[in-house]
A and B are shown apart, each in its own frame.
Chain A
Amino acid sequence: MSANNLTAVTGKKTKSYAAQKRTALIASYVFLTVLSIIWVIPILWVVLTAFRAEPGQFSSTFFPHAYTWVEGDIQYTATYTLDNFKDLFTPREGFDFKKMWLNTLIVASISCVISTFFAVATSYVMSRLRFKLRKTFMNIALVMGMFPGFMSMIAVYFILKSIGIHQTLLALVLVYSGGSGLGFYVCKGFFDTIPKALDEAAMIDGANKAQVFFQIILPMSKPIIVYQALNAFMGPWMDFIFARFLMGTNYDTYTVAIGLYDMLEKERIYAYFRQFAAGSVLVAVPIMVLFMCLQKYYVEGVTGGAVKG
C-alpha cells in the first residue's frame, strides 16, 4: 500500500503536483480505513458475542441473528441479551467470576506498587549513582533476562511451597513483583536523559542523594513511572501460566485469566463461550479506559527509553 502511495507521489512526473498529492492522500485514507477495519473486527466480534442470545461457540453469521428458545412454557425470541453477564456473575461450584475479578484486582494493585518501586529504584541507581559493582550488576541482569522466564517456574513453586504460601494471592504478588528489579532498562534510558547538572546543583545546595531522588528526580519522572505502573498493573490480568501453575486446584484464589482460559476448555466451550466473551469485555474495559487516559505517558515511556539525545 505504502509503496503504491510513494510511487504515486514520485512516479508520474506528468501529473500536476496537486493531483499527485490528492491521489496520495486518497490512497492513505483508503489504507487507513482498511487497516482500521481489520483492527476493529475482532474486538467488535467479542463485544457482539458478549451480548449474543444464540448459544454455542460459533454463530453462523458474523452479526448475531434472532434466536428462539423455550424456558418453562414461555417462548423467547431475541438477538441480543444481557443474560451472559448475569450468568457470568452467578457463582457456581469452582467458578466465581466476581471473586476472580477481585482477586486479580488485589494482586494487580499490590504488585503494581511493589514492582514499580523496585524497577524505578533499580533503574535510578543504575543510571545516576556510581559505585563499584554497577557494571557487573547490569551485565548480570542482562544475562539473566535471557533465560526463559518460566524455566524457573517449578523451582519458584517449590520455594513458595516450602514456606507454605503457594496457592495464595501473596504468592502471586511475590512472583509478579519479586524479580522486577531486573526490568530496569527502559526506565534507565529515561533517567539517562535527565541532565546531571540538576543533581549537582541540588547537592551544592546541601541536599543528600536521597533528597535528590525523592524531591527532584521522582517528580520529573511521571511519564516513566506511569509507564512502569501501567505495565505492572496489566501483567496479572494477562498472565495465566504462573497463576495456573501456582494455584493448582485452589479455586478461591483463581484470577480472571485462569477463569477465562478454563471457559475455553473443550468440554466447556459450547456452554460458556458467550460468558467468556462477556468476561473478556469486563476485563478489557477497565484496562482500556485506564490505558486511554494514560496513553500520553505510555507513549512518552515507550519512546523515552529508546530516544536519546
Chain B
Amino acid sequence: MFQKKDESEIKIEDSFATKLSFVIMGFANLAHKQFAKGVGFLAIEVGFIIFMIMGGFQNLINLITLGTVETHDEVVPGKILPVRVFGDNSMLFLLFGVLTCLIIAAFVMVWRANIKSARQLQVLDKQGKPIPSFLDDVKLYLDEKFHITLLALPIFGILAFTVLPLIYMICIAFTNYDRDHQVPGNLFHWVGFANFGNMLIGDERMSRSFFGILLWTIIWAFFATFTNYFAGIIVALIINQKDVKFKKLWRGILVLTIAMPQFISLLVMRCFFSDYGVVNRTLINMGVLENVDHAIKFFSDPTLAKITVICVNMWIGIPHTMLMSSGILMNIPQDLYEAATVDGANKVQMFFKITLPQIIFTTTPYLIQTLIGNINNFNLIYLLTGGGPTNANYYSAGDTDLLVTWLYKLTSGNRDYSLASTIGILIFIISATFSLITYRNTKSYKEEDAFQ
C-alpha cells in the first residue's frame, strides 16, 4: 500500500508511450512487453468502438427520444388491405439506453486503469525496477488486490440484477408508461416530475390513496416491529428463568414455526381466520356465535383486519426475536446481576437497568432493519388479506394495503408501471431518510473498528 502511494507522488512528464495509451489502450503495456495485459486492454477498446458504432450511439439517441414511430397501418401499393407497421418499442429503447450508459461507464473505468498502469510502468522503468510479469500480476490478485477477486462476481451479479433494473425502474417513474401507453402498440415519453406531482397533490383520488396507505404503512411498521420485539424479549426472559424446566422444549415449539415456510403458515392463517374458517366454526360449535352470518369478520372488516394482521405477524415474528434475545440474554455476564443483588436491587430494577439496556444496545441495528423490512413486508399482507377489504375511496387499493402491495397491484393488475415506480421511489425516500437519521447514530456504525 505504502509503496503505491510513493509511486503516485512522483510527478513525471508522461512519456510518449503513456501519451499514446490515452488513445491506443494498452500501448504502454505492449511497449514494456506486458503482452497479455496490453492485448487485453486493446481488445476491450476495439470491442467498445465496434459496439458503439454498431448500435451504441443509436441506443443513446433512442434513450432521449424513447421512440418516434408509432405502430400504424400503412397503405402499400398492390395490396388491398392496409399493412400494420410496428413502431418503436419505447420500453426496449429505455432498457438498452440504460445498458449502454452502464457499458460506457465501465469502459471509462477500464480506460482509467489503462492510464494508471501506463504511468506505473513508466515509474518502474525510471527507477530501474523489473517490470512485473503476467504471473506477478495474477499473484497480486490473491494478496494485495484480493478484494477485487472476491468482489468481481458478486458485483457483477449486483449490477445485472439489482442496479440495472433499479435504474431502469427509476427512469420509468419519469415517463408516462401507464395503462394508456402500453408497448408495443403505443409509445411513452419522458414527463419529468408529473407523476410525483399527481401522486402527492395533483390527482385528488391518487393523493388520498397515497397518504391513507402511507399512514397505515407507518402504523403497521411501528406496531409490527415493536410488538414482536418486546413480546419476544418477554418470552425469552420467561423461558430463561433459572427455575423453568424444559427450556429446550418451550423454545423448540416456538422455533417450529420459524422452520415452517412462511408462505404456508400465512396461507393457513388466511384459511384459519376467514369468515367460514376454523376459528369461526369452532366458536359456532361452542355456541359463542349463533351462525355463520354472525361470524367475526377477521379479514373483511377494515379495522378488525388491521388488528388481525398485526396479531398474525406476532405469531410469525415472536419466535425470531425470542431466539435472538435468548442468545443475548445468555451473553450478559452473570456477575452484573450478582453485584446488583448485593446492592439490594430487585428483579424489576435489574431488568430495566441491566437487561433491557444491554438488549437494546446490541439490537438497535436489527431493530432498524426490521422496521424497514416491515414497511416493505409484502408477503404478510399479500398472502393474508391481499390488501383487502377493498376501499372504494382508494385507487385500486384496500384497507390493509401497504405501499409495497399497492405497488405490486399497480404493476401486475393495472399495468400502471410509471405510478408503481413513483411509489417505489417514495418508499425509498421514506426509508432512506429514516434509516440515515437513525443508523448513522448507532454505535456499531460509528465504532466499526472498535472491537477488532
Q: How far is the CA of A129 from the CA of B328 in the complex (A)?
A: 28
Chain A residues within 8 Å of B408, by CB: 150, 241
| Complex Cα spacing A213 to B150, Å | 10
B452 touches A192 (CB 8 A): yes
Are B435 and A142 touching (Cβ within 8 A)? yes
Contact B237 A2 (CB under 8 A): yes
| Interface bits B135-168 vs A (CB < 8 Å: 1, else 0) | 0000100111011011101110110111111101
- Which stretch, A69-77, A80-88, A92-100, A296-304, touches the partner chain B? A296-304
Q: Is B218 an interface residue (CB 8 A)?
A: no
Within 8 A of B (CB), among A50-66: 57-62
Q: A residues within 8 A CB of B278?
A: 45, 58-59, 62
Q: Are B154 and A180 in contact (CB under 8 A)?
A: yes
A122 with B161: in contact, given A42-B269, A208-B143, A208-B146 (CB under 8 Å)?
no
Q: Which residues on the A side are within 8 Å of B263 (C-beta)?
A: 238-240, 257, 260-261
Cα-based distance from A292 to B261 in the complex (angstroms)? 13
For A205-222 the 0/1 string (1 means CB < 8 A from B) is: 000111101000000000
Contact present for A151 and B143 (CB under 8 Å)? no
- Closest B residue to A188 using CB positions: B448
Q: Known interface pairs A192-B452, A210-B146, A288-B260. Does A25 touch B244 (Cβ–Cβ under 8 Å)? A: yes
Cβ of B259 and Cβ of A179 under 8 Å apart? Answer: no
Q: A261 touching B327 by the CB < 8 A rule?
A: no
Cα of A10 to Cα of B347 in the assembled complex, Å: 8
Q: How far is the CA of A29 from the CA of B238 in the complex (A)?
A: 9
A118 contacts B154, C-beta separation under 8 Å: yes
User: Is B390's beta carbon under 8 Å from chain A?
Assistant: no
Confirm or deny: A43 has a beta carbon within 8 angstroms of a beta carbon on chain B: yes
C-alpha gap A60/B450 in the complex (Å)? 61
Select from chain A the residue with minimum beta-carbon distance to B98.
A155
| In-complex Cβ contact of B168 among A143, A145, A152, A283 (8 A) | A152
Contact A162 B347 (CB under 8 A): no
Q: Known contacts A31-B238, A180-B157; is A154 also within 8 Å of B169 by CB?
A: yes
Q: In the complex, which residue of chain A has the Cβ closest to the Cβ of B271?
A: A57
Chain A binding surface, main DSSP class: helix
Q: Which residues of A contact B258 (CB under 8 A)?
A: 291
Chain A residues whose C-beta falls within 8 Å of the C-beta of B271 in the assembled complex = 57-58, 264, 273
Question: Are A131 and B365 neighbours in the complex by a CB distance under 8 Å?
Answer: no
Query: Which residues of chain B are within 8 angstroms of A150 by Cβ–Cβ distance?
Result: 378, 408
When each residue 31-51 of chain A gets 1 if its CB lies under 8 Å from chain B and 0 otherwise, what string results? Answer: 110011011101101100000
What residues on A are CB-neighbors of B59 within 8 Å?
none
Say whether, besides A208-B143, A209-B142, A39 and B378 are in contact (CB < 8 Å).
no
Closest to B249 in A: A36
A180 and B328 alpha carbons, distance in the complex (Å): 27
| B142–A32 CB distance below 8 A | no
A121 interface residue (CB < 8 Å to B): yes
A175–B326 CA distance with the chains assembled, in angstroms: 34
Q: Is the CB of A208 within 8 A of B142?
A: yes
Asked if B32 is an interface residue, CB under 8 A from chain A, the answer is: no
- Do residues A43 and B256 form an inter-chain contact, with CB atoms below 8 A? yes
Are A129 and B147 within 8 A (Cβ)? yes
Q: List residues of B (247-283) whose CB comes within 8 Å of A's CBs.
A: 250, 252-265, 267-272, 276-278, 281-282
Q: Does B315 contact A (CB under 8 A)?
A: yes
Q: When the two chains form their complex, are residues B161 and A178 in contact, meaning their CB atoms are under 8 A apart?
A: yes
CB within 8 A of B253: which of A40, A45, A147, A295?
A40
Chain A residues near B267 (CB-CB < 8 A)? 260-261, 264, 276, 280
Does any Cβ of A come within 8 Å of B404's Cβ?
Answer: yes
Chain A residues touching B, range: 35 or more
Known pairs A60-B281, A307-B362; A45 contacts B272 (CB<8 A): yes
Residue of B nearest to A199 (CB): B452
Alpha-carbon gap, A193 to B378, bound state (A)? 33
Q: B188 near A: Cβ within 8 Å?
A: no
Question: B331 contacts A61, CB within 8 Å?
Answer: no
B270 to chain A: closest residue by CB: A264
Q: Is the CB of A234 within 8 A of B143?
A: no
A residues in contact with B365, CB < 8 Å: 185, 189, 306
Q: A10-B346, A179-B158 are in contact. Are A154 and B417 (CB under 8 A)?
A: yes
Please name all residues of chain A whose beta carbon is closer than 8 Å to the beta carbon of B319 when the two chains form the complex: 39
* A118 and B146 contact, CB distance less than 8 A: no
A303–B382 CA distance with the chains assembled, in angstroms: 29
Evaluate contact between A307 and B328: CB separation under 8 angstroms: yes
B407 contacts the other chain (CB 8 A):
yes
Q: Chain A: which residue is nearest B376 at the CB level?
A: A148
Question: How far, in angstroms, from A121 to B146 measured CA to CA in the complex?
Answer: 10
Q: Are A58 and B435 in contact (CB under 8 A)?
A: no
Asked if B161 contacts A175 (CB within 8 A), the reply is yes
Q: Quick one: which of B142, B411, B428 contacts A146, CB cutoff 8 A?
A: B428
CB distance from B94 to the nearest CB of A (A): 9
- Is A284 on the interface with B (CB-CB < 8 A)? yes
With an 8 A cutoff between CB atoms, is B363 at the interface?
Answer: yes
Interface residues of A in 84-120 (CB under 8 A from B): 117-119
Does B412 make an interface contact (CB < 8 A)? yes
The minimal Cβ–Cβ distance linking A112 to chain B, given in whole angstroms, is 15
Chain A stretch 155-178: residues in CB contact (< 8 A) with chain B: 155-156, 158-159, 162, 174-175, 177-178
Closest to A38 in B: B315
Residues of B within 8 A of A210 (CB): 142-143, 146, 149
Residues of B within 8 A of A (CB): 91-92, 95, 139, 142-144, 146-147, 149-151, 153-155, 157-158, 160-166, 168-169, 234-235, 237-239, 241, 243-244, 250, 252-265, 267-272, 276-278, 281-282, 285, 315, 319-320, 323-324, 326-328, 331, 346-348, 351, 362-363, 365-366, 369, 372, 376, 378-379, 382, 403-404, 407-408, 411-412, 417, 420-421, 424-425, 427-428, 431-432, 435, 439, 444, 448, 450-452
Add 9 more A-B contacts to A40-B256, A299-B326 (CB < 8 A): A60-B281, A149-B378, A155-B168, A155-B169, A158-B92, A181-B151, A260-B263, A291-B259, A300-B327
Closest 4 A/B residue pairs (Cβ): A181-B154, A303-B327, A178-B161, A152-B165
- 16 residue pairs from A and B, CB less than 8 Å apart: A2-B238, A35-B254, A39-B256, A62-B282, A117-B153, A125-B146, A145-B372, A151-B420, A154-B169, A155-B165, A189-B444, A238-B261, A280-B267, A302-B323, A303-B324, A308-B451
